[in-house]
């Protein structure tokens, strides 16, 4: 028995909500050898997910990111017609339904009625804390947030965020499951707005928009600053390791040297909204100079190819 079979008790995983995010998760679990049942309240969504998954598996195979025949992996994914069928016998539900509190609350109530007493539920929400929709039910101790980056079969990070009622055993199970399927687990210990990943992205973006607004730099030059500068180290080290290596004495030395500058930078920003309509029009125009609206889709395919190449290069490096 493999680690993952032991962990799952050889039971399937259920995907509830089969849009882009749910389909991406189906690939993660099926690639790892698990049986996957896939349900969406809209049967057309499930029907669309299957060819999408097929296409992505072909790409993964081409880049050496899966070692089995894509058809073998696809055969592990079974679309089902009802929520009851999806959760029947499942060890884990990956919830990726609409980002609305009422929709998620209704699903938790339904799962509470249907689920086996040991079923664990992970929600893919990027912005709604579990305490907003998963409290006060029998199932509440077994619900947490498992927020991926899209697409999760390429970019491995997943944020685990317990609600006020999530049990420690649930966090431990989700941690073990995510690691077993190849994800990188980040533990978010408080339900803060945006969790960790979107908070970090938000502060950088907010400063970037403000710099354009003030005429300090164009959006293209800001992209260059990150793409040909800051982003290199961050793509294999992260910000703390970066600064730890950037001062002779390590991170404390760095903090002593650069803390005052960083504080001055922070104090030079107010909380005024930098995304007004005029600014958005300006950045939209700058972007469209570089990429026409009609080319967005082609460029997304280019991005996905780059991400596959990136993942292929990272795969061996991660075992170092």
Min dist. Cβ of residue 51 to a second copy (A): 19
Min dist. Cβ of residue 172 to a second copy (A): 16
Site for a second copy in 176-215 (CB under 8 A): 184-190, 192-194, 196-208, 211, 214-215
| Contact pick of 159, 170, 173, 178 for a second copy (by CB under 8 A) | 159
Which contacts (CB < 8 Å, 24+ apart) does range 56-60 have? 56/23, 56/24, 56/27, 56/151, 56/153, 57/27, 59/304, 59/305, 59/308, 60/27, 60/31, 60/153, 60/308
Phi, psi of 144 (to 5 degrees): -150, 170
Q: Which two tokens stand for residue 310?
A: 């990136």
Residues contacting a second copy: total by CB under 8 A: 97
Min dist. Cβ of residue 232 to a second copy (A): 6
User: How many Cβ atoms sit within 10 Å of the Cβ of residue 237?
Assistant: 13
| H-assigned helices in 97-167 | 101-114
Min dist. Cβ of residue 94 to a second copy (A): 18
| Contact pick of 47, 75, 84, 266 for a second copy (by CB under 8 A) | 266
Site for a second copy in 289-318 (CB under 8 A): 290-291, 293, 296, 299-300, 303, 306-307, 310, 313
Min dist. Cβ of residue 174 to a second copy (A): 14
- Are residues 96 and 19 in contact, defined by beta-carbon separation less than 8 angstroms? yes
Min dist. Cβ of residue 125 to a second copy (A): 12
Rg of the chain over Cα atoms, rounded to whole angstroms, equals: 21
Q: Does 100 bind a second copy (CB under 8 A)?
A: no
| Contact pick of 44, 71, 268, 319 for a second copy (by CB under 8 A) | 268
Q: Does 219 bind a second copy (CB under 8 A)?
A: yes
Q: Does 58 bind a second copy (CB under 8 A)?
A: no
DSSP assignment of 6-61 equals HHHTT--EEEE--SHHHHHHHHHHHHTT--EEEE-SSHHHHHHHHHHHHHHHHHHH
Q: Does 229 bind a second copy (CB under 8 A)?
A: yes
């Amino acid at each position: 028995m493999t680690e993952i079979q032991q962990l799952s008790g050889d039971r399937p995983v259920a995907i509830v909500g089969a849009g882009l995010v749910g389909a991406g998760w189906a690939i993660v679990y099926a690639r790892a050898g698990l049986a996957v049942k896939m349900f969406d309240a809209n049967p057309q969504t499930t029907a669309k997910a299957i060819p999408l998954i097929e296409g992505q598996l072909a790409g993964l195979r081409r880049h050496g990111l899966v070692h089995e025949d894509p058809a073998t992996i696809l055969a592990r994914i079974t679309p089902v017609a009802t929520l009851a069928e999806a959760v029947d016998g499942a060890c884990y539900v990956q919830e990726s339904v609409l980002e609305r509190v009422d929709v998620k609350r209704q699903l938790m109530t339904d799962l509470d009625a249907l689920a086996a007493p040991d079923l664990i539920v992970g929600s893919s929400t990027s912005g709604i804390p579990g305490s907003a929709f998963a409290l006060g039910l029998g199932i509440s101790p077994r619900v947490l947030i498992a927020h991926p980056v899209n697409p999760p079969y390429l970019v491995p990070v997943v944020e685990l965020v317990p609600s006020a009622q999530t049990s420690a055993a649930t966090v431990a199970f989700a941690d073990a499951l995510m690691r077993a399927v190849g994800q990188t687990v980040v533990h978010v210990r408080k339900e803060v707005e945006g969790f960790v990943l979107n908070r970090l992205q938000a502060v950088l973006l907010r400063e970037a928009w403000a710099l354009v607004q003030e005429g300090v730099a164009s959006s293209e030059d800001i992209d260059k600053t990150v793409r040909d500068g800051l982003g290199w180290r961050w793509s294999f080290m992260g910000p703390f390791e970066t600064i730890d290596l950037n001062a002779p004495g390590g991170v404390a030395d760095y903090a002593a040297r650069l803390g005052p500058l960083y504080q001055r930078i922070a104090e030079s920003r107010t909380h005024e909204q930098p995304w007004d309509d005029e600014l958005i029009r300006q950045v939209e125009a700058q972007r469209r100079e570089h990429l026409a609206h009609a080319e967005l889709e082609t460029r997304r395919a280019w991005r996905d190819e780059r991400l596959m190449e990136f993942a292929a290069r990272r795969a061996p490096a991660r075992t170092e």
